[in-house]
Amino acid sequence: MRRTSPALAAYSWLVYGFLYLPILVLIVFSFNNSRFGATWQGFTLKWYGVLFGRSDVREALLGTLLVAIPSTLVSTVLGTLLGFGLWRYSFRWRTPLTFLMVIPIVIPDVVMGVGLLMLYALVRTVVPFSNGLLTVLLAHVTFQVSYVALTVRARLAGYDRSLEEAARDLGASDLQAFLRVTLPLALPGVLTGALLAFTLSLDDFVVTYFTSGSGFRTLPVLIYTNVKRGITPDINALSALLVGVTALVLVLASVISGRSSAFRRSARRGREDS
Amino acid sequence: MLSFRRFLASLGPGTVWLVIFVVGPALILLAYSFLTRTDVGQLGAPVTLENWQRIFGYDALFQEWVPDNLRVLLRSVLVAAVSTFVCVLLGYPLAFYIAAQPPRRKNVLLLLLILPFWVNFLIRVYAWIIILRPFGLVPSTLAVFLGMTYAYLPFFVLPVYSSVEKVDWRLVEAAEDLGATPVRAFWAAIFPQTLPGLIAGVILTFIPALGTFIVSDLLGGSKTALIGNLVQDQFGQAGDWPYGAALSFLLLGAVLLGLWLYARLAGQKGLEELI
């Protein structure tokens, strides 16, 4: 451990202030008794009431979950198999495959969004369908798979492949060896990957925006269309609520897991935008 | 034979998925970028280089040069570069501060760093509208810079932090013993050790900043339009898919080229560490 100067400490806390200022302002203003809210006009809970009365908000919340839950399940299965395979086998195409897996993580969301939009348009010339829940779901699985695979792969990296062989030497079948030796070892990685995939799905705006068509909306898409029209206090309330839920889930998860490395890894991405 | 089937069963489905939904769209973008604008979604129009010429400011016959779109491209690179630079200024010292704390405190500080970034991206950008609008700063270039820096700061700090944590401080002592000034000791003994994290951090900040459209859409105006806004416009109001495809493919190509160079430098391990 190294000594740090007071100047560095002060500077660092200023940076933390910068990180939290917008979120605090957002929460404070969600309780502000003013329609156009630039100044403080007294405390109120009415915007939360307005929010709960909006049927489009409820629909968008449902839409968000209808995408997030199935896409997380599919991507967790696909990603776990992929991460396991990358760890278990040595083959010529390993580096190109890793490269392919990293692409969905690094390409700008707008490129992924319009690319999928065009893919769907092309398929539509053969099979008629309209954009909506299904097209958004497929799109989300696409950016989730890589994260799950890399998380599982990272979790298994510390273990020796011969563990499975040992199980087989002791009479386990291949399936037994996988289910009783490898999968339990990989499980923390699988769960972290699934949690990450779920949050990425909840958070995504850009890819959903381009692939959802006109009839289907998730919460981020709803927030975007509202924000484009101007500041509305009930959207402050919605944002503050989402901040609260996020913080609660994160603190619980970190208390349960006792490790922050998973969060560290997962925060390194900016799916929402970009 | 059996083992090959297991190999296929584990790697097959995911690979097929990625080929269909990642390689497929990339190829479609490339193909569309050489087509002419027709009814949205229609293929088979005449093959042309016009979309690519347009990006660089030329018309179909190379008679005029109107570099409006080229200006947007340059602006995107500039905005991303400046935002990344501000992230370095804010984040690099912060990484040292966190790394110097006792373990428990370190974990709390890391969690505190990450928490805001689990908040929805749109909401984080929207919060800046609430703060800056009373000062008449929305839309403005300053707001775009602030929003970008705010949005991508943790992507920068985290990889730098993992490099700083591994710094071998004995080298600094050695440098000081040999009479180096603190500044000299930093550049000679510390900075090179943090370089891998710094490079990863810069990549992870610069790439999303280059491709964003939300920040400039919500905090900036038409004067701060970036390549992302241009793409969005082609698939929205302008309705020019082939041109949008060319712009997207350009963005994709730039990112893949950067990633490929990074992979050449850092190898398989570096690729996996990028996230």
List of chain A residues whose C-beta atoms are within 8 Å of the C-beta of residue B120: 202-203, 205, 219-220, 223, 239, 242, 246, 272
Cβ contact (<8 Å) for B211 and A236? no
| pLDDT tens per residue, range A10-26 | 888 999 999 899 888 88
| pLDDT tens per residue, range A130-154 | 778 888 999 999 999 988 888 888 8
A146 touching B, CB under 8 A?
Answer: yes
Task: Please check the confidence at residue A272 and state whether its pLDDT lies above 50.
Answer: no
Question: Which one has a higher pLDDT value, A266 or B88?
Answer: B88
What phi and psi values does residue B125 have, to the nearest 5 degrees? -70, -40
Give the Cβ contact number of residue B82 at 10 Å.
16
CATH superfamily of B69-274: MetI-like (1.10.3720.10)
| pLDDT tens per residue, range B101-121 | 888 888 888 888 888 877 778
Write the CA distances from A260 to B67, B106, B269, integer angstroms: 48, 10, 21
A145 touching B, CB under 8 A?
Answer: yes
Cβ contact (<8 Å) for A19 and B153? yes
DSSP helix/strand/coil, B58: strand
Residue A148, Cβ density class (10 Å: 0-12 exposed, 13-18 middle, ≥19 buried)? buried
A90: which residues sit within 8 A by CB, 6+ positions away? Answer: none
Domain region containing A218 = 54-273
Give the Cβ contact number of residue B192 at 10 Å.
12
Q: Give which of A11, A16, A19 to mutate to test B binding, by max B Cβ within 10 Å.
A: A19
Cβ contact (<8 Å) for B213 and A273? yes
User: Which residue spans of chain B are classified as CATH 1.10.3720.10?
Assistant: 69-274
Task: Please check the confidence at residue A196 and state whether its pLDDT lies above 90.
Answer: no
Span A206-229, mean pLDDT? 87
Task: Quickly state the pLDDT bin for A122 (edges 50, 70, 90).
Answer: confident
Task: Please check the confidence at residue B273 and state whether its pLDDT lies above 70.
Answer: no
A3/chain B closest Cα distance in angstroms: 7
Instruction: Compare CB distances from A98 to B24, B119, B271 and report the shortest one's residue.
Output: B271
B77: which residues sit within 8 A by CB, 6+ positions away? Answer: B210
CATH code for the domain in which residue A157 is found: 1.10.3720.10
| pLDDT tens per residue, range B197-211 | 888 888 888 888 888
Q: Give which of B88, B112, B121 to mutate to test A binding, by max A Cβ within 10 Å.
A: B121
Task: Please check the confidence at residue B51 and state whether its pLDDT lies above 80.
Answer: no
A170 touching B, CB under 8 A?
Answer: no
Q: Which ipTM did the prediction report?
A: 0.82
Q: Give which of B171, B214, B240, B257 to mutate to test A binding, by max A Cβ within 10 Å.
A: B214
**Lowest-confidence segment of A175-189, A247-261, B47-61, B174-188 by average pLDDT:** A247-261
Name the token pair of A272.
């929402």
| pLDDT tens per residue, range B9-28 | 778 888 899 999 999 999 98
List of chain B residues whose C-beta atoms are within 8 Å of the C-beta of residue A228: 218
- Minimum Cα–Cα distance from A226: chain B residue: B126
A166/chain B closest Cα distance in angstroms: 16
A243/chain B closest Cα distance in angstroms: 6
List of chain A residues whose C-beta atoms are within 8 Å of the C-beta of residue B255: 106-108, 111
DSSP helix/strand/coil, A89: coil
Cα A242 from chain centroid (whole Å)? 14
Cβ contact (<8 Å) for B209 and A254? no
A132/chain B closest Cα distance in angstroms: 17
Number of domains in chain A: 1
Task: Please check the confidence at residue A263 and state whether its pLDDT lies above 60.
Answer: no
List of chain B residues whose C-beta atoms are within 8 Å of the C-beta of residue A125: 41, 43
A-to-B residue pairs, Cβ atoms closer than 8 angstroms:
308
Task: Please check the confidence at residue B166 and state whether its pLDDT lies above 90.
Answer: no
Closest to B273 (Cα-Cα) out of B153, B151, B163: B163
| Residue B86 confidence (pLDDT) | 93
Write the CA distances from A229 to A54, A223, A235, B198, B212, integer angstroms: 17, 10, 11, 39, 20
| Residue A107 confidence (pLDDT) | 86
A261/chain B closest Cα distance in angstroms: 9
| Residue A78 confidence (pLDDT) | 93
Cβ contact (<8 Å) for B14 and A81? yes
Q: Give which of B73, B104, B123 to mutate to test A binding, by max A Cβ within 10 Å.
A: B123
Span A152-159, mean pLDDT? 79
Q: Is residue A47 part of a domain?
A: no
Paired strand residues for B58: B65
Closest to B100 (Cα-Cα) out of B216, B190, B211, B15: B190
Cβ contact (<8 Å) for B17 and A23? no
Q: Is residue A260 part of a domain?
A: yes
Within 172-231 of A, beta carbons closer than 8 Å to B belong to 174, 199, 202-203, 205-206, 210, 219-220, 223-224, 227-228, 231
Q: Is residue A42 part of a domain?
A: no
Task: Please check the confidence at residue A75 and state whether its pLDDT lies above 90.
Answer: yes
Task: Quickly state the pLDDT bin for B43 (edges 50, 70, 90).
Answer: low
Cβ contact (<8 Å) for A111 and B126? no
User: Which amino acid is it at B94?
Assistant: L
Within 55-84 of A, beta carbons closer than 8 Å to B belong to 78-79, 81-82, 84
What is the Cα–Cα distance from B104 to B261, expressed in whole angstroms? Answer: 37
A39/chain B closest Cα distance in angstroms: 9
Q: Is residue A190 part of a domain?
A: yes
B63/chain A closest Cα distance in angstroms: 31
Q: Find the helix packing angle between B68-99 and B103-114, rounded to 10°.
A: 160
Q: Is residue A101 part of a domain?
A: yes
| Residue A271 confidence (pLDDT) | 38
- Minimum Cα–Cα distance from A239: chain B residue: B123
Task: Quickly state the pLDDT bin for A274 (edges 50, 70, 90).
Answer: very low
User: For B39, left (φ over 0), alpha (ψ -120 to 50), or beta?
Assistant: beta
What is the Cα–Cα distance from B186 to B182, expressed in whole angstroms? Answer: 6
